[in-house]
Amino acid sequence: MDNFTYCTPTKYIFGSDAELQAGTQLAALGINNVLVCYGGGSVVRSGLLERVETSLAQSGITFVELGGIQPNPTDPKVREGIDLCRRTAIQGILAVGGGSVIDTAKAIAAGVPYDGDFWDFWAGKATVTEALPVGVVLTIPAAGSEGSGNSVITLLDGMHKISLRTDFALRPKFALMNPELTFTLPPEQTAAGIADMMAHIFERYFTTTPDVEVTDRISEGLLMAIIDQAAKVMAAPTDYQARANIMWSGTLAHNGICGTGRREDWVSHFMEHEISAVYGVTHGSGLAVIQPAWMTFMAHHAPQRGAQLARRVFAVDEPDDTLAALQGIACLKAFYRSIGLPVTFAQLGIDHPDIPLLVAKLHENKGPEIGGYYRLTPADTAEIYRLAL
Amino acid sequence: MDNFTYCTPTKYIFGSDAELQAGTQLAALGINNVLVCYGGGSVVRSGLLERVETSLAQSGITFVELGGIQPNPTDPKVREGIDLCRRTAIQGILAVGGGSVIDTAKAIAAGVPYDGDFWDFWAGKATVTEALPVGVVLTIPAAGSEGSGNSVITLLDGMHKISLRTDFALRPKFALMNPELTFTLPPEQTAAGIADMMAHIFERYFTTTPDVEVTDRISEGLLMAIIDQAAKVMAAPTDYQARANIMWSGTLAHNGICGTGRREDWVSHFMEHEISAVYGVTHGSGLAVIQPAWMTFMAHHAPQRGAQLARRVFAVDEPDDTLAALQGIACLKAFYRSIGLPVTFAQLGIDHPDIPLLVAKLHENKGPEIGGYYRLTPADTAEIYRLAL
């Protein structure tokens, strides 16, 4: 186990009607004027935005809206938000949505008090030390951004999709989590969210740090719970209990508890970011395609962790590590297919991916060799992309 | 899954030399004058206290010492600490030790700014809304107090041992966790700590709340990790990795993550508190005796949770719930015995426990019927005490 510092100060308020606490929670933080961020029209049509804004009004909080945030959010919306906040003396940001909305809210929160261009943080030129407080009303369990200090933004100029990780500065102050808000998610979005949260666990699970039994067992337990509850939620989208289990899993998958004491490896995410930047696919669906391919490569080069995953989560009974890992990957792909996810580029709607372009952009963004669990050259990452064909 | 609010703001700094950050962490909280609480002479003899106090001095922090805190801590020491803090304008408290030291530090922290008698909080007559900030240098992984908002204090007048639970007010601001500090723990203390942390999971696991798969799986995973690492730590007390896994498990067992979304049942703790209040036994050893007895009663009255525990943690393969639960309890007792713990009153050194006295005090403190998982009358709790003979 490696040394670590772990702190998750986000207050999670979980259950029916949680969103109605938006006003009181912001007021408790001393915020009187808030930017309300949201995405498409569903939060408007469902009446959620109105309920939240009524809650703000009841606490005497004024607000300005920033709607229209798109999936795979980009820098222009962030700049628009920063400008809006500065012009209207905004004190805090309330994100009503999923990962894209929350990540945009965080980027705005970091940018407002910063003297330079907000992209400096994502480009690694500056560190976030100060940010407006962010609160969340979660509508999509997937990205785990409601409990993390991370934010993924794409710079349109060059389509650079970059994940910024901060320890504390960008962790939301509170997350209001009502599973009922996810009843109306389309099946493909529910499934993509499930792949996303599982990926967040896998990226922490494939580690070279030995002796992390506690973190292993928590991660394996979460994966088993997700797989069990996913079947229920796909079969009955308004099953409150299954939705609740999936929603809470999404937070725990990414708030750091699955990473304590070990090195992580986010190459599958990096590889998917290039796919979604170029082809505009849903992040979770892209992960369902690329992560089993990455694991397949590892089964042949560093099979130990995949073998343990297979044996503990998928009950694979096979003494050989490579064979066990491969059987586990087969189980994982079968699970993904069972909830309607793609597991190949073709199923993702990309018949002829431009692998040289993906590889070039990947290594341009991340360096000539990437990966903590196993170092990958451009030849290796090209092979992984091909394994997803 | 029930609605819940969950927030664990404690900053965990984990690894070698973590204790050397005492000064910088307190300084970061703006604390210039601190009360250093500790127990017996081991922290002095080992040089730990000196290292910690050097760290304070290097950060320009002055301090006053309060040593001699005993296991099963009592109110006179708390009153002494409150008085000392008030006389010396203490701004924060640093607990260097295990659960007894930390719980005393929390009680002092609550008492200093309070106008009345600190016991009001434990007696349920007042709620802690304000407290001095508490930091921890952990030396015994067991009570989980380093990450919880709880504090167990015994009122000498009547030997009332009461656990106070707060949401946030008494959660430590930081916990410095160096597994090396636990290398020299005597085997019986290591084992008692393991029983204590397992008990903290069990008390949350035996619930009437359905559909808590995520929390179940995390709890089961932690238990499996503890059982696996316990054997290693007992065999090789200076095995850093096993010590690290056990230490981190102790925190996660009690910082609330195993309780999210469900009702808990702390009757085994309540029953043990009476044993240790009357007979002065080590809390964890008392739990190793009483908790399997409580589970045995439940196997005959409400076997479902014990059966799931047996099947998932102890790999019991038995379709009947009562039989499965009983087999699981046999595995648990075998595990406790394997690490040198008592599983009967006699093994605990109490040949003829005064069960009527224990039952009378239990129900006097906790009410005529107790228990959330299954309601227990005095006749029931007497039977459970007898099951531990």
Question: Which segments of chain A have a pLDDT < 70?
Answer: none
The interface predicted TM-score (ipTM) is 0.96
Q: C-alpha angle with apex A157: A154 to A161, nearest 5 degrees?
A: 20
**Does the CB of A211 have a partner CB in chain B at under 8 Å?**
yes
Per-residue confidence (pLDDT) for residue A338, from 0 to 100 = 98
Place of tokens 């939301």: A172
Tell me the residues of chain A between 9 and 38 that have a Cβ less than 8 Å away from chain B: 9-16, 18
Of B8, B13, B241, which is closest to A1 when you measure between CB atoms?
B241
Torsional sign, CA B236, B239, B242, B244? positive
**Does the CB of B260 have a partner CB in chain A at under 8 Å?**
yes
**Does the CB of B257 have a partner CB in chain A at under 8 Å?**
yes
CB distance B3–A10 less than 8 Å? no
Q: How far is A91 from chain B, CA to nearest CA, in Å?
A: 22
- Report pLDDT digits (tens) over A50-62: 999 999 999 999 9
HSE, side-chain direction, 13 A CA sphere, residue A165 = 6
CB distance A244–B9 less than 8 Å? no
**Helices within B163-212 (DSSP H only):** 187-205
User: What percentage of chain B has pLDDT greater than the value 70?
Assistant: 100
Counting one residue from A and one from B, how many pairs have CB atoms under 8 Å apart?
A: 123
Residue of B17, B167, B198, B218 to mutate, interface with A, max A Cβ within 10 Å: B218
pTM equals 0.97
Q: Which of the four pLDDT bands, split at 50, 70 and 90, describes residue B167?
A: confident
Rounded Cα distance between A174 and A307, Å, is 37
**Does the CB of B87 have a partner CB in chain A at under 8 Å?**
no
Distance of CA A87 to the CA centre of its chain: 30
**Does the CB of A222 have a partner CB in chain B at under 8 Å?**
yes
Does an H or E element contain B292, and which? helix B283-301
Of B5, B241, B249, which is closest to A11 when you measure between CB atoms?
B5
CB distance B3–A15 less than 8 Å? yes
Strand order in the sheet with A134-138: A62-66, A33-38, A92-97, A134-138, A174-177, A4-14, B4-14, B174-177, B134-138, B92-97, B33-38, B62-66
- CA gyration radius, chain B: 20
A72 SS3 class: coil
A151 SS3 class: strand
Q: How far is B377 from chain A, CA to nearest CA, in Å?
A: 32
Q: What tokens does A319 get? A: 């003494």
Per-residue confidence (pLDDT) for residue B85, from 0 to 100 = 98
Residue of B217, B223, B228, B239 to mutate, interface with A, max A Cβ within 10 Å: B217
Per-residue confidence (pLDDT) for residue A41, from 0 to 100 = 85
Distance of CA B141 to the CA centre of its chain: 9
User: What percentage of chain B has pLDDT greater than the value 90?
Assistant: 95
Tell me the pairing of strands A160-165 and A150-155. Answer: antiparallel
Mean pLDDT confidence for B249-266 = 97
CB distance B217–A213 less than 8 Å? no
Q: What tokens does B370 get? A: 């107790």
Q: Which of the four pLDDT bands, split at 50, 70 and 90, describes residue B325?
A: very high
Rounded Cα distance between B100 and B163, Å, is 12
CB burial string B99-127: b at 16+ within 10 A, e below: bbbbbbbbbbbbbbebeeebbbbbeeebe
CB distance B13–A1 less than 8 Å? no
Under 8 Å between Cβ of A75 and A59: no
Rounded Cα distance between B299 and B293, Å, is 10
**Does the CB of A86 have a partner CB in chain B at under 8 Å?**
no
**Helices within B112-182 (DSSP H only):** 119-122
Return the closest-CA partner of residue A215 out of B251, B359, B47.
Answer: B251
Q: Which of the four pLDDT bands, split at 50, 70 and 90, describes residue B160?
A: confident
Residue of B13, B207, B214 to mutate, interface with A, max A Cβ within 10 Å: B214
Mean pLDDT confidence for B20-32 = 98
Give B-chain residues touching A257 at CB under 8 angstroms: 252, 257
Give B-chain residues touching A212 at CB under 8 angstroms: 245
Per-residue confidence (pLDDT) for residue B72, from 0 to 100 = 87
Rounded Cα distance between A364 and B172, Å, is 44
**Does the CB of A235 have a partner CB in chain B at under 8 Å?**
no
CB distance A218–B252 less than 8 Å? yes
Rounded Cα distance between A242 and A230, Å, is 7
Does residue B315 have a pLDDT over 90?
Answer: yes
Place of tokens 């915020």: A31
Q: How far is B212 from chain A, CA to nearest CA, in Å?
A: 7
CB distance B211–A16 less than 8 Å? no
Backbone phi, psi, residue A68, to 5°: 80, 20
Mean pLDDT confidence for B339-364 = 97
Per-residue confidence (pLDDT) for residue A78, from 0 to 100 = 98
Per-residue confidence (pLDDT) for residue A161, from 0 to 100 = 84
Taken as a whole, chain B contains a residue count of 389
Per-residue confidence (pLDDT) for residue A133, from 0 to 100 = 98
* End-to-end CA, chain B: 36
Place of tokens 């990205």: A143
